[in-house]
Amino acid sequence: MEFTSFLDYLHLEKKYSNKTIIAYKNDLQTFCNFNLEKFEQTNIKKVNYSQIRSWIVSLVADEISNNTINRKISSLNSYYKFLLKTGDIKINPLNEHKALKTKSTIQLPFSEKEILNTLNSNNFKNSFEGFRDYLILEILYTTGIRRQELIDLKIQNIDYSNARIKVLGKRNKERYIPLIHSTMESIKKYILFRNKLKNIKSNDSLFLTSKGKKIYENLVYRITKKYFSSFSTKTKKSPHILRHSFATHLLNNGADLNSVKDLLGHTSLAATQVYTNRSIEEIKKVFKKSHPRNKG
């Protein structure tokens, strides 16, 4: 079965790398092969959830890890969402599916030293892309916004007089986040370079590619990984780790949980508590300083 339209969508619209697109294609082909062998069905547009469930059971029986199985199902789900968009199907057979449970892994934030070394390095060129990349990393770290929130920032979202930005979060919920002086200065410098771009195709978007188009998810990830690779040995180097670092560093320096919750755009404290995984030494300091039995 051909997936050309879907793979083109991943390449042209989602801007996924060739490696990622190949992984999607392999996952879909694997399911096609299973569906043909098990149910003698060649068109996976017509499958139901029980057939997908059979595939999951077979993957578990083959001792495939839950993480890998979830990734394969995610590929399939993306394909069905695409078919819904194009009108090829009316119902996504994975609508009610729940991901398999996986062991939670602790995502270590960057240290303050790693952040400072990266932002203070000479790796940023004196060019549009250099200033853009720097500002992307600085805003991610000094505001804690999500990658998609950063991508969707518009020039009119910057409130220069009050030194803050307006962010459109999940479920279209707006929030304002204060900007420190250095970030405000970085924005002004970047705008000067941005205004010199020719053929700007996305006039409102704050962050653009060198061709004048709105930036995309994969680009933000590549920028983060590129610059932090010189100063951090952590396995995970992503925009989310910068968000994690923002929250962790605020909490480590005395910010209260409710304030961090509001800055992150969380609706409940439970979501924010994920970022409270401070080091044992930090916890010991707080304990010694705060416990009533340890005073006097």
Residues annotated as catalytic (active site), given as ranges: 146, 170, 240, 243, 266, 275
Q: How far is CA 27 from the centre of its chain?
A: 22
CA distances from 140 to 36, 162, 163 (A): 46, 19, 16
Q: Where are the alpha helices (DSSP H) in the chain?
A: 4-12, 18-39, 49-61, 66-86, 112-119, 128-143, 147-151, 181-194, 217-228, 239-252, 257-264, 269-272, 280-290
**What separation in angstroms does the CA of 155 have from each of 140, 150, 159, 193, 295?**
16, 11, 9, 14, 52
Q: Counting Cβ atoms within 10 Å, is residue 184 exposed (0-12), middle (13-18) or buried (19+)?
A: middle
Three-class secondary structure of residue 230 per DSSP = coil
Q: Which of 118, 152, 134 is nearest to 234 (CA)?
A: 118
Dihedral sign for Cα 46, 49, 54, 55, please: positive
Cα distances from 152 to residues 146, 199, 206, 214, 215, in angstroms, run 10, 20, 8, 8, 9
Cα–Cα distance for residue pair 185/243, rounded to 1 Å = 21
**Residue reference for tokens 């149910």:** 39
